[in-house]
Structure 1
Amino acid sequence: MIEQRKLTVTLETVTPMFLAGANKQQPELRAPSIMGALRYWTRAALGGVLGDKNIEALKKAEEEVWGSTNGTGSVRIQVVPTSFAKVSVDPLPHKTKREGRSKPQFCYEGVPVRTSFQLVLSQFGGADRTWELGLVAILLMMTYGGVGRRSRRGWGSLLIKEINPIRDTFVSKKEKEFLTVLTDLMAQGKMTLADWKVHRDWMREQALNVANDLCQSLNLPQDKADIPSRYPLIIRQDQNRIVDRLDTRLTNNPLSAITYFGEQEHDFLMSEKQQNPKVFDAFGYAKGRERWASPLWVRVLPVWDSRKKQKKYTLAFSVFPSDVQGSDYEVIEKFLNEKFPNAIKVRP
C-alpha cells in the first residue's frame, strides 16, 4: 500500500518518563506505550460524539485510525529513540521531603528530563478524517496529558521540539490548521498562560469537530453520554463538571511543580479524611485487585514568563467525565479551590 502522508514529530521530556517493556526495571522508549496514550485520547474524543453506550461504534471508529486485532488502521506510528542513560527517580518527592529523609524509600527507573525522541506517523489509505483524528490525538496528549506511569500526576510530560511533514500528498484545510498548531507548540517555552488558555479551549472544540466528521462519514449513530459516564470523555457541556485550570504559580524547575502538587494533595487529604473517610477515592485508589485511576489529570506545562522574559513551569489540571460520583467531582473542585485559588479557569 502506498504511503500517503508522513509526519515526524520530535518530542522532548519535560519531566522524567516511566516506560518499560517486559523488563520493568529497564526504561525503554516503546511505540506500544505511545500508541496506548494516543488510543486513550482518540477514545475520549470519539466518546464525546458517540456517547458511552455503543462501544461497538466507538471500536469501529477507532479501528479506522489505529487498527485492531482484526487488521491495521490507516495511521501507523514508529518511535525512533535516542540513546539515554536511565535515571533513578523518586516518584513521591513530596513524601520524601515531608519526612525529612535524605533519600527516598524507593525509586523508579525512568527516561531523564530533556531526552529527545522522534514520533513518526504514516498514513496508508483511509480518508483525510482518519489522519486528522490521528493528529488530534497527538495534540490532546500534548495539551492535557503525558505518557507512562504516573502520567496523571505530571510525570511523562512532553514538549514538541520540531515537526517535519516529510510527505503530504493530500493536504486538507483542517490538517493545515493542525500542523500550524503543532508548529506553534514547538515554541511551548514561549507560550504564556493566556496563550495556553486560548489553546486548551480551542483544542476541546476541534477534537469534537474532527471526531464528529469521522463518525458521520462512517454512518455511526451519535448519542449523548450519561454524566457521570463510565469512561473519560471530551464533551462540550458537562453540567458544570468540566475542570480545566491553569495554575498561576510559576517555578524554575518542573520537578518542583510536581513536588508542590504532591504537598498540596497530601495536606488536603489529611485535613478532609476525618469528616469524609472516602475522600481518597476521589483521587483514585488501589484496593486489592480493584483499581481506579485518578480522574484528575495533572500536566507540567512550560510557559513563558513575559515579565521576567524567561521560560518557567506551571501545573495544568483537567478532569474529564468518568465513572465517579457527583460528590467526588465536588471533592476535586474543593481541593482546587482551596489549594490553587488563583488558578485560571479555562472554562466556567
Structure 2
Amino acid sequence: MEELKVTFQIITPMFLSGADQEKAEFRLASLKGALRYWYRSIDPSYNHPVSSSSSISKESWIFGGAKQGEGQSRFLMRMESHHQMNVVSNKQDNSKYHKPTYFAFFLKTKVETAPMKKDYVPRLCLVPNRTVTVYFFRRTSNKVCDPIEEWKALLSSIWLLGHLGGLGSRSRRGFGTLALKSWGFTNDSSANQLLKQLPIANNESSIKAWKNHFLASLNSIKSWFGEWQDICEHSIINHKTSFYCREQKYNSWNEALDDVAKVIQDFRKKNKDHRFALGMPLKIKEKMKKSKSSKPKEIVYTPFDGERYASPVWIRIIEIKGKYYPFIAVLTPPKKIAIAEQEEGKKETKTMFKHDFSMHDALNKFCIYLNDYGDKGWKRCE
C-alpha cells in the first residue's frame, strides 16, 4: 500500500473543534473537507464520471460519497499518535491572540451578564508554530481509475491547502493558516515524479523566492487538469484568479493579520456597492435616508436563495525565517448572484437589486483597490 507522509505547520491560531465547541482539536474530518474544497476549485472535471464504465464522479471516487456505489475515500488518513497539540484559551493572552479584532469578532461573548461588552468567550485554539503530521494511504482498487490520476487529485489538494488555505473558524480571514512544510512517500511509489513538480514554497528564504516557487507549482497543477471553460457554481482557480502579497514584513503574525484587517475594513467603508463580494451574510448599521433623526438600523444582506455566500477571498499569513507577510488570494467566483436585504428582527425580506449582482465586477474593484493601497501597495504575484 502506497503511503504519503505530510507535515503541516500552524501559522496563526486555529479555532477548530468537534461536537464540543469548548475544546480545540485537529480533526481529520475537517482536513478531508478542506482537501475536497481545494480539489473542486482546481479540477474542471471534478463532477465528470471517473471512467466510461462508472457513473461515480471523480470527486466522489477520490474523497468518498454517500450516494449508492460511491462509498469510502480512495485514501485513508492517520495522524501521528504521539503528536500532542498545545491549546490555549483566548482569555489567557487576549492581546497576543486577538489583536486583529475586526476579524476576531466571532470570539466576542453574547452573554448579557458579561462585565464588559468586549469580553471574550473562553474558547480554546491550537497555537501557532506547532506542527502536525498526517499519513495518507491509497487503497488498492480494481483499476477503475489510473493511480497517478488519483495521486494528482490528492497532491494538488494538499499543496493548495498548504499554500492558500486554512482550517477552523474564520480560516478565510487568516485564522487557522496551515503551511505545508514537508511531504514524501515512505515507500516506493509511481507518484514520486509528481512531487518533483511541486516544490514547497514555504521553505524558501525570501518572499521573492516564495512567489516564484508558488507560481511554478501552481502552473504545474493547472497543467494536470486543464483550464476551466465555464464559470462554475462555486469559486475556482483559473486564469482570472489573482494573488496578492504585501512585501512589507512584520515581526509577528498578528501584526501582519492586523494589516490585512485594516485593508478589508477600509475597502468595505469606501466601496459600499461592492462590499458584498467579500462574503455574506453581511450585517451593517444603516441610517434611514428619509429621516435625519432616525437611529441606525441593523440590516442583514444575504444571497436571495440562501443564508450564506462563502467569500472567494482567502487571506493567509506567510512565515519566512521568523518574519510574516500578508497574502490574499482572490478566487474566481460565480458570475452573478441575487442579493436580498432584511432588517434585523423582521421576517420579511426584499430584493435589494432588480438585477443580479456581478461578483466579477466587484472583485475587480477590490483588486484595483489592492494595487493602489497606500505607499507600499499589494504586489500581484505574476
Give the TM-score band, short-chain normalised.
0.7 to 0.9
Say whether the 8 Å CA contact 1:37–1:141 is kept in structure 2: yes
Residue number in structure 2 paired with 1:119: 134
> Radius of gyration: which is bigger?
2
Aligned to 2:237: 234
Q: Which moved more, 1:200-209 or 1:129-138?
A: 200-209
- CA offset at residue 147 of structure 1? 1.6
CA-to-aligned-CA distance 1:120-162 (integer Å, 9 cap, x gap):
1111225122113211111111111112221111111123444
Q: Is it true that 1:197 corresponds to 2:200 in the alignment?
A: no
1:163 Cα deviation (Å)? 3.5
Tell me, in whole angstroms, the C-alpha distance in 1 between the residues paired with 2:262 and 2:170: 16
Q: Distance in 2 between matches of 1:13 and 1:223?
A: 31
For 2:365, the equivalent position in structure 1 comes to: 331
Instruction: Provide the rounded CA distance (Å) in 2 between the counterparts of 1:124 and 1:262.
Output: 43
Q: Distance in 1 between matches of 2:331 and 2:77?
A: 26
Alignment of 1:98-113 (within 5 A): 104-107=118-121, 108-113=123-128
Which consecutive unaligned segments of at least 5 residues does structure 1 have?
213-221, 305-310
Give the letter aligned to residue 30 of structure 2: S
**CA separation of 1:211 and 1:96: change in aligned 2, threshold 3 A:** closer
- The reply on whether 1:72 has 2:89 as its aligned counterpart is no
TM-score in terms of structure 1 length: 0.78
Q: Is the 8 A contact 1:144 1:297 kept in 2?
A: yes
Q: RMSD across aligned C-alpha pairs, in angstroms?
A: 2.8
For residues 58-107 of structure 1, give each alpha carbon's deviation from its aligned partner in whole angstroms, at most 9, with x where no partner exists. 8711123222222123222223352423332666724499xxxx994434
CA contact (8 A) 2:24 2:124 kept: yes
Gaps of 5+ in 2: 51-55, 105-115, 142-146, 282-299, 337-357
Q: CA deviation at 1:164?
A: 4.8
Q: Please identify which structure carries the higher helix content.
A: 1
> Is the counterpart of residue 224 in structure 1 residue 256 in structure 2?
no
Return the alpha-carbon distance in structure 2 between the equivalents of residues 284 and 79 of structure 1.
33
| 1:204-254 deviation line (CA, Å, top 9, x unaligned) | 322222235xxxxxxxxx96113xx4211122x33xxx2211111110101
The Cα shift of 1:319 comes to 1.2
Quote the sequence identity (%): 21
State the structure with bigger RCO (CA 8 A, min sep 6), 1 or 2.
1
Distance across 1 between alignment mates of 2:42 and 2:103: 37
Maintained 8 Å contact 2:25/2:85: no
Query: 1:143 aligned to 2:163?
Result: yes
Structure 1 equivalent of residue 339 of structure 2: none
Q: Which residue of 2 aligns with 1:346?
A: 381
Alignment match, 1:308: none
Report what 1:299 is aligned to: 316
- Number of aligned positions between the proteins: 304
Following superposition, the deviation at residue 346 of structure 1 comes to: 1.4
